[in-house]
């Protein structure tokens, strides 16, 4: 084409002396030669493959800014490494876990509230009953076993049979003074979704719950991660054994309102986590009266209700207080429970929302499609919780073994001159290590936390992570320890204390 077009005028005798002559033809070819030399030379290659005009990467980035594809603003803070000492300690243990046989110099875990005290009883029951409890039998099916009973969709809020079993079990471990109605229950995949769903139902984004402190650090994750609801600490003091008072609630509520924050409810654990104290009937009555006066909700986390070991301690459910008097609007009362502590089954992900509010129950049932309990697990729990003889044997042993382990742990600390707060429930004790602080401050407490982790090889949750305003307190979970582990812990603390004073 480049040869034909310029010569066309010459061949056809058109264009006059200049246009039709060879001059424009020569100028055209000189221009082509000049442009060709200005171009970069092609790469040397013996291949006859045509050169690519663009790379794979340029195809994907053409017209766009170069960088990693972004995630949502909701996910960004969750993807960051944890900054709470509670989670930092848990992660550090994973890197060097203590084992009394294979790794005696590893980090001993005192930061996780789980129990292995009655695994022998659970092992026996599961080995004898696991398969039969999961396999629902029907006369309408050849061979008896009805696969549809565990393989097909079932109500997201839980089978009626498991709700009935939960209601009876909860009433039994709470002293038999209150009856739980299965129709007021929603079964959840653990205590965490129970708390989150309740938060979703009771408060709007930007609202807040009052929460007595020190409190379990996981509440921040359970409540705040996805709902956008804030937690406002209600500071309690050692002079009251960290028991919440109405005056402290009033002060926290007034400060929140001055900041323009709407308070929608009160959240607390009973027995307290991390202190282990048990709220009296009078304290529960005062909390409910305060909530009714301020027209806010009450969430009582009673997941340690069956882990009360103090012989003179009586556990009272908020459901009992609400039902005992006609003066209270029961629709503002909501209970959270689960089997991860009292039955040592955190892996089963078994939790309960118990509420007197029809709209809360209706909304929670719909939200359970995101966190429902697997049906095979429900079938096992129906059989387990309905085995009255086993449950009575288990709970008696559970309470006795917690009490014995608590005594060994607290006595060991006492011999080192380290006191503990008075407690009567839970899988932990609240330890006053202020005598080991280099400075009576949050900084001094965090320095001790790091020394415990790195030097003594002990992970104990510092009070800072629990929003305690008095430095030096640590939560120590003891129900996953063997008796022979306790002297090891005490020796490590003793060496740390001696090295700090020398």
User: Would you please indicate which residues are annotated as catalytic (active-site) residues?
Assistant: 216, 301, 303, 341
Nearest residue to 150 via CA among 136, 170, 129? 136
CA pair distance 391, 176, nearest whole angstrom: 14
Joined tokens for residue 338: 């689960």
DSSP letters, 357-421, are -HHHHHHHHHHGGGSPPPHHHHHHHHHHHH-HHHHHHHHHHHHHHHHHHHHHHHHHHHHTT--B-
User: Cα dihedral sign for 224, 227, 230, 236?
Assistant: negative
Three-state DSSP at 354 gives strand
Beta strands 185-188 and 351-355 are: antiparallel
Joined tokens for residue 64: 């766009």
Other residues' Cβ atoms within 10 Å of the Cβ of residue 390: 18
Cβ atoms of residues 300 and 334 within 8 Å: yes
CA pair distance 71, 38, nearest whole angstrom: 45
Nearest residue to 405 via CA among 481, 471, 475, 473? 481
Nearest residue to 268 via CA among 314, 216, 306, 315? 216
Cβ atoms of residues 332 and 296 within 8 Å: yes
Cβ atoms of residues 113 and 477 within 8 Å: yes
- Phi/psi for 263 (5° steps) reads -95, 125
Cβ atoms of residues 267 and 216 within 8 Å: no
DSSP letters, 161-224, are HHHHHHHHHHHHHTTTSS---GGGEEEESSHHHHHHHHHHHH--TT-EEEEEES--THHIIIII
Nearest residue to 303 via CA among 118, 114, 461? 114
Cβ atoms of residues 477 and 111 within 8 Å: yes
Task: Extract long-range pairs of 160-164: CB within 8 Å, 24+ residues apart.
Answer: 161/378, 161/382, 162/187, 162/373, 162/378, 162/381, 162/382, 162/385, 163/187
Cβ atoms of residues 406 and 487 within 8 Å: no
CA pair distance 467, 447, nearest whole angstrom: 17
Cβ atoms of residues 273 and 426 within 8 Å: yes
Q: For the purposes of burial, counting CB atoms within 10 Å of the CB of 94, is it exposed (0-12), middle (13-18) or buried (19 or more)?
A: exposed
């Amino acid at each position: 084409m480049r040869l034909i077009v310029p010569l066309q005028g010459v061949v056809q005798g058109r264009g006059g002396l200049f246009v039709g002559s060879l001059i424009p033809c020569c100028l055209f070819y000189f221009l082509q030669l000049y442009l060709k030399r200005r171009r970069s030379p092609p790469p040397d290659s013996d291949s006859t493959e045509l050169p690519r005009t663009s790379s794979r990467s340029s195809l994907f980035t053409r017209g766009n800014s170069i960088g990693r594809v972004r995630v949502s603003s909701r996910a960004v803070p969750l993807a960051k490494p944890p900054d709470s000492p509670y989670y930092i300690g848990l992660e550090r243990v994973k890197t060097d876990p203590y084992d009394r046989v294979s790794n005696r110099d590893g980090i001993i875990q005192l930061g996780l509230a789980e129990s292995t005290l009655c695994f022998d009883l659970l092992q026996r029951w599961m080995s004898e009953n696991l398969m039969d409890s999961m396999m629902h039998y029907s006369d309408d099916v050849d061979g008896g076993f009805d696969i549809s009973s565990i393989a097909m969709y079932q109500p997201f809020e839980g089978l009626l049979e498991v709700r009935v079993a939960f209601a009876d079990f909860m009433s039994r471990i709470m002293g038999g003074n209150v009856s739980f109605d299965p129709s007021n229950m929603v079964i959840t995949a653990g205590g965490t979704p129970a708390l989150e769903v309740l938060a979703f139902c009771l408060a709007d984004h930007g609202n807040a719950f009052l929460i007595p402190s020190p409190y379990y650090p996981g509440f921040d994750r359970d409540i705040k991660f996805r709902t956008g609801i804030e937690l406002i600490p209600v500071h309690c003091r050692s002079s009251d054994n960290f028991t919440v008072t109405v005056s402290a609630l009033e002060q926290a509520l007034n400060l929140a309102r001055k900041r323009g924050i709407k308070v929608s409810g009160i959240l607390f654990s009973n027995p307290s986590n991390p202190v282990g104290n048990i709220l009296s009937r009078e304290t529960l009555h005062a909390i409910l009266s305060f909530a009714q006066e301020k027209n806010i909700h009450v969430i009582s986390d009673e997941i340690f209700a069956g882990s009360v070991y103090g012989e003179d301690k009586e556990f009272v459910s908020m459901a009992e207080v609400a039902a005992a008097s006609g003066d209270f609007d029961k629709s503002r009362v909501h209970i959270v429970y689960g089997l991860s502590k009292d039955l040592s089954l955190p892996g089963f992900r078994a939790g309960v929302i118990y509420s007197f509010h029809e709209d809360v129950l209706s909304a929670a049932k719909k939200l359970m499609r995101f966190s429902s309990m697997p049906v095979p697990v429900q079938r096992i729990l129906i059989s387990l919780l309905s085995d009255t003889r086993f449950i009575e044997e288990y709970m008696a042993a559970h309470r006795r073994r917690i009490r014995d382990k608590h005594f060994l742990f607290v006595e060991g600390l006492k011999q080192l001159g380290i006191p503990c707060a008075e407690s009567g429930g839970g899988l932990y004790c609240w330890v006053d290590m202020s005598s080991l602080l280099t400075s009576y401050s949050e900084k001094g407490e965090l320095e001790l936390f790091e020394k415990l982790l790195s030097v003594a090889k002990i992970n104990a949750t510092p009070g800072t992570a629990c929003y305690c305003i008095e430095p030096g307190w640590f939560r120590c979970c003891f129900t996953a320890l063997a008796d022979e582990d306790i002297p090891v812990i005490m020796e490590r603390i003793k060496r740390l204390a001696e090295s700090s004073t020398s």
